Amino acid sequence: MKYYQNLHTHTTYCDGKDSVEGMIEKAIALGFDSVGFSGHSYMFYAPDHSMSLEGTEQYKKEVRAMKEKYKGQIDIFCGLEFDMYSEIDLSGYDYMIGTAHYLLIDGKHVGFDRTAPVVAGIIKDYFGGDGMKYAKAYYETLAQLPNFAKTDILGHADLICKFSEKENFFDIDSPIYQKYALDALEALTGKIPFFEVNTGAISRGYRTTPYPHPFILKYLKEHGWGACISSDCHDGNFLKQSFDDSAELLKSVGFKEIYILKDSGFEAVGLD
């Protein structure tokens, strides 16, 4: 790859291991051209998994200060990983990653981006043990994302497949599952311009391959979405996790370029 950028990067402001500056130093050491920070948006329903409101203001200030400090060495962007039920001020960011990590069930925010046993419990408690109903609920939720915010990048589109290499909560090859996913993507097409190939589950040992699944990538390619590659980084040692594999995956389904954020906006860069 010619250009290394990661726009999905967490720090100690939320659930990451590195400080903002520590992450920048690792990015430089790994040969990145730029790095964008995407702290978890404040979630009143999950304060332990998000930036605090006060922390969010500090985060914005610190990332802006680092952008100046490292000018000429590495480009820095200030973004946000927006969870769709966050009710927060969305101003002051260079870009926004839109995500769904919670299902809203009977007024309760149910977090499924945890461990496989937590997911098994959710399927048992809320979906009568039927994993396919859980998958349907996720994609119906995801389809609502544009009603909550205008976002640039669809984050981990099939997040519920985080455990799909080891657990069989639902059959990802079945037409019914694929229809749920593609119905959601159809609802999002034209409303969110970019998506990410996400490698975060690899560095955390949940998966060996990046996701989304190739059937989703093919749909996104056919429907004009632009691709980004991200490591959903919570530990700077894994900032470049499987970027080259992700480029190969994108090429295998017909993508010829990825999109990179510059000061002037997103630009296409060839994958060759």
Residues that bind Zn ion (CB under 5 A): 81, 99, 232
CA–CA gap between residue 266 and residue 4 (Å, rounded): 14
Interatomic CA distance for residues 266 and 95, integer angstroms? 10
Q: Which is nearer to Zn ion, 160 or 271 (CB)?
A: 160
Separation in Å, CA 50 to CA 11, 23, 161, 246: 11, 18, 22, 27
Q: What three-state secondary structure class fits 77? A: strand
- Chain residue at closest Cβ approach to Zn ion: 232
Smallest gap from residue 141 Cβ to Zn ion (A): 14
Closer residue to Zn ion, CB minimum distance, 246 or 271: 246
Choose between 60 and 156: whose C-beta lies nearer to Zn ion.
156
We find the least distance from the C-beta atom of residue 156 to Zn ion, in angstroms, to be 6
Q: How far is the CB of 254 from Zn ion (least distance, A)?
A: 26
- Contact of 36 with 95, CB cutoff 8 Å: yes
User: Residues for the chain: how many in total?
Assistant: 272
In 114-271, beta strands by DSSP E: 153-154, 194-198, 226-230, 257-262, 265-270
Tokens of 226: 């632009």
CA distances for 236 relative to 10, 18, 27, 191, angstroms: 9, 7, 7, 31
Closest separation between CB of residue 97 and Zn ion, Å? 7
Under 8 Å between Cβ of 166 and 116: yes
| C-alpha of 27 from chain center | 18
**Least Cβ distance, residue 65 to Zn ion (angstroms):** 23
Taking the least distance from each CB to Zn ion, the nearer of 157 and 249 is 157
Q: Quote the CA–CA distance of 223 and 135 in Å, as a whole number.
A: 22
Query: Whole-number minimum distance, CB 12 to Zn ion, in Å?
Result: 14
Name the residue nearer to Zn ion (CB basis): 18 or 232: 232
CB closer to Zn ion, 10 vs 271: 10
Provide the residue type at 125 as one letter: D
Q: Which two tokens stand for residue 211?
A: 């996701």
**Least CB distance from residue 155 to Zn ion, whole Å?**
6
Nearer to Zn ion, 158 or 232 (CB): 232
Cα torsion 216, 222, 224, 230 to 10°: value is 30
